[in-house]
Structure 1
């Protein structure tokens, strides 16, 4: 008898055209975090048509579909729905031309520049295939569609919205992300996978004066410049060379004219770390450094340090990741890999951590294979292959969608079909 995943995936050719059409439509109609109303409505409609028990508006726009199919494990699979404020430059016939009015009253473009449209499409297709082949598996599927991953608040919003009381407790939680690897690639790893991320705003206070009279001022521009330089020494001189960490100052704002010394300056920075100890070490060092520079400049008051957002580290459960790795290698053969450590960040882990379930997160490729191969041979992947969040990021539809759908199926059936035992 064929494996349960093969029996389920036998239905893929029959839904492939509709799946690709859905993807194109979703790509052309992106929505920002906590505003995914059209997306969520379409998801709920399709889940109901597949006979899932559906709950909408969890947190903000979160959607969950549950299908119970006899005794067995409960597997939660998650996709994120939100897009980014990016002007699409891919030139695709289904490219987004959407704009929205921001909180400042200005129009801003919207694009699925991170591949969340791939994630939604693959999870919906998986849900349909599971509904169409219930004789091939046993247990419970939870298909969870999360808002506002990019803002880092969507997972918490769903938990605060009562998710735990709306779904059965999962035995395992799974998620995937399309990344800059050749389409057809599937990769998982044990332990640390995605970094923690902390975005900070530091306001430095000085004393304003005429540009010709610096002796009357405490110059916050100089203070900010010294902070930027000093912050770069934290990773290079305080963190072990074998421990990955990144500090990036992405914004400096100060002053209104060339001959005016302002009374404040603002720097915004982003921190990436992979474990709680390093995270605390780096954040503590940032506070120490900016306060010391303010003291050295004789600032009239201490800097204000604000956390803008924070993402937890994504640390795959060793047992879950090992089970997935075996299942992926059995099904995909040479297409299955141990993926590299990634510097991107996610809030997915807050859901299984709060629900008390082990989890694993993996990556799939989305780049046309020949394009990726040529860039790899020339050593120009970083220059020639647009990455997530780029206005040129455009996963090739196939085999990306088929791979994502297949990976979800193989992963889920490692529990629901006893293929991982």
Structure 2
């Protein structure tokens, strides 16, 4: 290979960019694809980059990688660790880190683009898509709304991968619902502020918020069937400025994960019912305000396409190195690209950590607790064999679908 993938990876890891701000990353991608001979279109959906390589008649295959980092302070101690900072959508100065491995995704797709360019054993059209703002939850949708499939060929299949905390050299692929739907919402609870010494003259939104947080835990525990799955997390609770002041309002930030659309509807309805009832019970002067933010749809791998791709991945990586991890509660927006094209999706997981850490896991089926998860400040995939495995997986999957 002429592209130094390890160098590209270290550079991307050291220079992460927040959602819809991936200008430097997009520039690197466009430069590399142009040098490889791809027809390159930039700026789709803001900072998205797409390369197209046409080689005779045959199917159109789309390979996707996401590019954005997260507002996380890196704590890996790596010599190429990020010290970058950025300005988030609210105008706050924040640290930035590739804490979810999108630097791995970009690097592997560049490597696969080079290998497939140098190969003369396929025909069809290859589309390599580098998406902004997966973490925001709207990058894929923004690209589609910006006329993605009016500007590049519509694919017959959408393929992609995500680095994950399991052994490097392995991949994980699950047919059907592979990743959860995710809903993010803010809730504003209004009270009546006053002096901390005279709570009887107020409607205390802190007390109201505390009761809401406690009561929300009963949704999964008491309203969702054991055979179903859901997660309701209160990730933020903000209220007050001083110990002896009862504030006028409180704000909660919630994240909801579900693996079935009917369960999703039930959970959202229960959240609104509980919050409104608690506000009424507290005598709140106004009904709560619900602000729905990003939403990730279910990630669904089309079964027949998944079975076909599974065989290709196993042939490339080796017998027993493609596992079925089942459905997971993480979320993705890659399915938007497939749905908009009317094409099947196949999305798999790429192992990125020292296999020695998983000796017991492969026997028991339980992941070790000392492996950092995605979004952790300690998330640091091995460079090798992660990159070479990721390139091999993308190339094998693409070749399976190209003529």
TM-score range, shorter chain: over 0.9
Cα distance, 1:95 vs structure 2: 1.4
Alignment equivalent of 1:262, drawn from 244, 247, 260: 247
What is the SS of the residue equivalent to 2:264? helix
Alignment equivalent of 1:215, drawn from 200, 218, 222: 200
Contact persistence 1:375–1:384 (CA under 8 A): no
Confirm or deny that 1:411 pairs with 2:359. Answer: no
Correspondences of 1:365-376 after superposition (within 5 Å) = 365-373=351-359
| Cα 1:41/1:265, change in 2 over 3 Å | same
Q: Deviations over 1:107-151 (max 9, x none)?
A: 422111111011011111111111111x21111100000001111
| Cα 1:375/1:109, change in 2 over 3 Å | farther
What is the SS of the residue equivalent to 2:268? helix
C-alpha separation in 1, matches of 2:303 and 2:367 = 30
What is the SS of the residue equivalent to 1:173? strand
Alignment equivalent of 2:98, drawn from 103, 107, 112: 112
**Aligned residue for 2:127?**
142
Correspondences of 1:171-182 after superposition (within 5 Å) = 171-182=156-167
What is the SS of the residue equivalent to 1:384? coil
Alignment equivalent of 1:363, drawn from 349, 353, 373: 349
Which range moves more in the overlay, 102-111 or 30-39?
102-111
**Aligned residue for 1:240?**
225
**Aligned residue for 2:288?**
303
Cα distance, 1:102 vs structure 2: 4.3
C-alpha separation in 2, matches of 1:375 and 1:342 = 17
Gaps of 5+ in 2: none
Contact persistence 2:18–2:88 (CA under 8 A): no
Confirm or deny that 1:70 pairs with 2:27. Answer: no
TM-score by length of 1: 0.92
| Cα 1:155/1:229, change in 2 over 3 Å | same
Correspondences of 1:70-219 after superposition (within 5 Å) = 70-102=56-88, 106-133=92-119, 135-219=120-204
C-alpha separation in 2, matches of 1:380 and 1:175 = 25
**Aligned residue for 2:22?**
36
| Cα 1:119/1:226, change in 2 over 3 Å | same
What is the SS of the residue equivalent to 2:49? strand
Q: Deviations over 1:83-112 (max 9, x none)?
A: 111121111122112222446665422111
Cα distance, 1:210 vs structure 2: 2.2
C-alpha separation in 1, matches of 2:49 and 2:21 = 13
Cα distance, 1:377 vs structure 2: 7.7
Gaps of 5+ in 1: 1-13
The structure that is helix-richer by fraction is: 1
C-alpha separation in 2, matches of 1:388 and 1:105 = 25
**Aligned residue for 1:390?**
376
Cα distance, 1:301 vs structure 2: 1.2
Cα distance, 1:344 vs structure 2: 1.0
Confirm or deny that 1:52 pairs with 2:32. Answer: no
**Aligned residue for 1:251?**
236
Contact persistence 2:357–2:368 (CA under 8 A): no
| Cα 1:320/1:224, change in 2 over 3 Å | same
Cα distance, 1:382 vs structure 2: 4.8
C-alpha separation in 2, matches of 1:174 and 1:240 = 33
Cα distance, 1:318 vs structure 2: 1.0
